[in-house]
Amino acid sequence: MKTYSYYYILLLFLLIGSGIYGQQDAQYTQYMYNTLSINPAYAGSRDGFTLSALYRNQWIGVGGAPETQTLSLDTPLRNFSNSGLGISVVNDKIGPIQETYLDINYSYTIPLSKKGKLAFGLKAGGHLLNIDFETLNEYSSNDVLIDDNIDNKFSPNVGLGAFYYTNNFYLGLSAPNILETKHFDKSANSENGFTSLATERINYYLITGYVFQLNSDLKFKPAGLLKMVSGAPLQVDVSANFLIKEKLTLGLAYRWGSAVSAQMAYRIQQSFLIGFAYDWEPSSLGATQFNAGSYEVVLRVELFNKRKIVYPRFF
C-alpha cells in the first residue's frame, strides 16, 4: 500500500492542478492556523472540535485598505468513520467593496500507510457582495458608471481540496471557489456603451511543511504557500517557525516581493492558542508615511480531542 500511495497523491494533485493560470481571495500570514478557509480537506484532521478566529488589518494608515475577519469550526464525525465536517465564515472589506463567504466543508480521509493519510475535501456555500459607491471620495450621483450600489448580491460557491499528512509532514492543494462568477452592474448604459464588470476568479493554493524534532524541547518547521490566480502575480510565502516546549512559537516569514513578517504564538494550557503576526512592506508602499505595516491576531480553541494528545501536531 505504501508503494502505491505516492502515485495516488501525485495523480490527484496533477488532476486538481491542471489548468492553473497564475489575488482575489483574502490574504493571510497565519494561514497555518486558518487552513480550513483555504482547504476544505483540512476539516476534522486535528481529531477534535476546533474553533479558529482571525482578524487581519492590512496596510495600516492607508484609506480603504483590506480588513479581514474569519471564523471556522470543524470536527471529525464520530458516527461516520474517516469523515470531517466544518463551517467557515470569511468577511473581507477593501474600499467600498465588502465580500462575505459562508461555507460548509466536508472531508473524507483515506489511510495510505501506518503514518500517512490523504483527505479529500468539498466545500459548498454562498457569497454575498456589497459595493457602496457613496463611500468613494470622488462619488457623484450623476456618474452613469456608479449610479447604483450593489446590496447583498448572492452567488453560489463550490470548492475542492486535497490534504496529505503524517505526524511531521503535510502537503495540500485546493481551489476554494471553482465557480468564476461574473457580477454585472445594473448601471450599464446602452447609449454610451459603458459597462461595469467584476469577476470572481479561481484561486489555487498549494501548501506544504515539514516538522523537524531538534531535541525534546524544540521543533523546527519550514513551510510554504503558493497562491495562483489568473491575471495576478504568483504569490509565494515561505516561513520558518520554532516551537519551544510545546508552548511558544516564534518565527519569520517572507512573501515574495511584498512583505517580511514576524510571527508569535503561545499555547495556553492544552486547548487554547493565541497568535500574532506583523508584516512590514519592503516595497515603495511600505516606505510611505501612510503605511505602518499589517497585523493579524488569531485565536484557536481545541476541545474533545479523541486521542488526548500530550504533544499536539505542529500544523
Least confident range from 92-96, 175-179, 292-296, 306-310: namely: 306-310
pLDDT at 225: 94
Cell readout for 88 is 467557515
- Interatomic CA distance for residues 40 and 174, integer angstroms: 8
pLDDT at 80: 85
Pair 228, 237: CB distance under 8 Å: no
Least confident range from 52-61, 142-151, 167-176, 295-304: namely: 142-151
Neighbours of 144 (CB within 10 A): 13
Q: How many domains does the chain have?
A: 1
The reply to whether 264 falls in a domain is yes
| Average model confidence (pLDDT) across the chain | 81
Strands (E), 95-149: 97-111, 117-131
Nearest to 74 by CA among 98, 109, 99, 100: 109
The reply to whether 311 falls in a domain is no
- Interatomic CA distance for residues 314 and 207, integer angstroms: 14
Label residue 28 by pLDDT band (50, 70, 90): confident
3-state secondary structure of 4: helix
DSSP string, 246-268: TTEEEEEEEETTTEEEEEEEEEE
Nearest to 45 by CA among 206, 223, 171, 224: 171
The reply to whether 310 falls in a domain is no
Indicate if the alpha-carbon torsion angle 129, 134, 139, 141 is positive or negative: positive
pLDDT at 141: 54
Cell 480553541 sits on residue: 301
Cell readout for 92 is 473581507
Least confident range from 18-32, 39-53, 92-106: namely: 18-32
Percent of the chain with pLDDT over 70: 76
Q: Does residue 17 surpass a pLDDT of 50?
A: no
Distances in whole angstroms, Cα of residue 263 to Cα of each of 47, 254, 255: 25, 11, 13
Between 271 and 160, residue with greater pLDDT: 160
Render pLDDT for 37-95 as a digit per residue (tens, 0 to 9).
999 999 999 988 999 999 999 888 777 788 999 999 999 998 888 999 999 999 999 88
Least confident range from 1-15, 79-93, 247-261, 292-306: namely: 1-15
The reply to whether 293 falls in a domain is yes
3-state secondary structure of 135: helix
Residue-range definition of the domain harbouring residue 187 = 2-303
Q: Does residue 270 surpass a pLDDT of 90?
A: no
Render pLDDT for 131-141 as a digit per residue (tens, 0 to 9).
876 665 554 55
The reply to whether 157 falls in a domain is yes
Residue 94 is given by DSSP the state E
The reply to whether 222 falls in a domain is yes
The reply to whether 309 falls in a domain is no
The reply to whether 314 falls in a domain is no
- Interatomic CA distance for residues 64 and 28, integer angstroms: 18
Render pLDDT for 202-243 as a digit per residue (tens, 0 to 9).
899 999 999 999 999 999 999 999 999 877 788 899 999 999
Assign residue 86 the CATH number of its domain: 2.40.160.60
pTM above 0.75, yes or no: yes
- Kindly give the residue spans of alpha helices, DSSP state H, lying in the chain: 2-17
Render pLDDT for 143-152 as a digit per residue (tens, 0 to 9).
555 556 777 7
